[in-house]
């Protein structure tokens, strides 16, 4: 879902519940997402469900369960649920608005992230998923466009709503989800969805962050879904420090994937190690101070320039602070 802001259209509501709507943030298979605000000025992302889905009683009951589960999630890695109306003619829910680009847009605009950045984002997301799964929720649609890079760290959005209808046919997967390169094999087969399903999607998402591409390449939904089930992921370009862990996340058998807790611990270690290596490389390539010159007893000389290597390194270190 593209989160770039667009003007409200004529058919869009101006007020939903106690929220005034200002802009469209995007539209997906389940409905439209708006930027809104309450009377105190707190900004929210408010999703209004499509009219045809609103008339489906089974959808309404599943949607209610999803919202109820979202209320139980505790942890800083999700966009907190603010309000919802499940009885409205068109059900809706509002979460806190997260400023910052999606991981998809960040990589598309600025290129792949460094190993340290990917590991740090992955560690935070893994920790967030621990809380999500403890609440009895499986996201089911984790992908780069559902991860927002806020100044306070990554945030996961769009909880389970894309799968609220419970459909598992290829048609549904190909149309409503729209990113089959990030779905787990068991989702494609229509088998049981578990926390390990989100681990597979996280592995594919980290591969995208490190390379700028899906580990299952490009093609029609059917081609991508076939590869997810039958072919090995392409991890060329994934840094050596991350490749074995990403490979483990993308195991076809859910039982062989690491747990979110194990992922969180290992990615934290990798992030710290890679950050130290980056700092050492920066020191190695930063301009040395000028030697003492005659007539300059303090040895000050002229100030060392802030070379491009140093500036770029600093910028890389704050890739998510946008």
Which residues are designated catalytic? 141
Inter-CA distances, 214 with 102, 198, 224, 235, 320, Å: 16, 16, 10, 9, 20
Locate the DSSP E strands across 133-231. Answer: 147-150, 153-156
What share of residues in the chain are helix, strand, coil (percent, to 5)?
45, 15, 40
237: left (phi over 0), alpha (psi -120 to 50) or beta: left
Q: Which structure tokens are listed for 124?
A: 């935070």
Cα distances (Å, whole numbers) of residue 310 to 116, 306, 316: 17, 6, 10
Tokens coding 272? 């710290």
Tokens of 118: 């990917």
Q: How many CB atoms lie within 10 A of CB 150?
A: 17
Which tokens belong to 182? 């990030």
In whole angstroms, what is the distance from residue 257 CA to residue 26 CA? 33
Tell me how far apart the alpha carbons of residues 225 and 24 are, in angstroms, rounded to a whole number. 31
Q: Are 233 and 217 in contact (CB under 8 A)?
A: no
């Amino acid at each position: 879902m593209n989160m770039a802001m667009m003007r409200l259209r004529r058919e869009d509501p101006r007020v939903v519940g106690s929220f005034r709507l200002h802009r469209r943030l995007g539209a997906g298979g389940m409905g439209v997402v708006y930027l809104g605000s309450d009377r105190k000025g707190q900004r929210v992302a408010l999703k209004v469900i499509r009219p045809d889905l609103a008339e489906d009683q089974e959808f309404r009951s599943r949607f209610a369960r999803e919202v109820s589960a979202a209320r139980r999630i505790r942890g800083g890695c999700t966009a907190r649920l603010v309000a919802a109306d499940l009885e409205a003619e068109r059900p809706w829910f509002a979460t806190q608005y997260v400023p910052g680009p999606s991981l998809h847009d960040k990589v598309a605009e600025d290129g792949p992230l460094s190993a340290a950045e990917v590991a740090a984002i992955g560690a935070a997301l893994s920790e967030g998923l621990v809380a999500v799964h403890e609440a009895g929720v499986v996201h089911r649609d984790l992908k780069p466009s559902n991860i927002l890079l806020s100044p306070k760290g990554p945030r996961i959005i769009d909880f389970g709503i894309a799968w609220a209808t419970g459909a598992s046919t290829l048609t549904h997967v190909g149309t409503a989800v729209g990113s089959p390169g990030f779905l787990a094999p068991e989702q494609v087969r229509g088998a049981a969805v578990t926390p390990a399903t989100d681990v597979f999607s996280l592995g594919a998402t980290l591969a995208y962050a490190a390379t700028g591409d899906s580990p299952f390449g490009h093609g029609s939904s059917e081609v991508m879904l076939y590869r997810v089930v039958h072919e090995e992921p392409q991890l060329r370009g994934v840094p050596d420090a991350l490749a074995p862990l990403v490979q483990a996340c993308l195991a076809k058998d859910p039982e062989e994937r690491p747990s979110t807790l194990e992922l969180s611990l290992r990615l934290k270690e990798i992030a710290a190690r890679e950050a130290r290596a980056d700092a050492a490389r920066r020191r190695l390539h930063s301009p040395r101070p000028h030697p003492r010159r005659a007539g300059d007893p303090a040895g000050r000389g002229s100030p060392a320039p802030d070379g491009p290597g140093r500036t770029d390194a600093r910028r890389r270190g704050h890739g998510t602070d946008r």
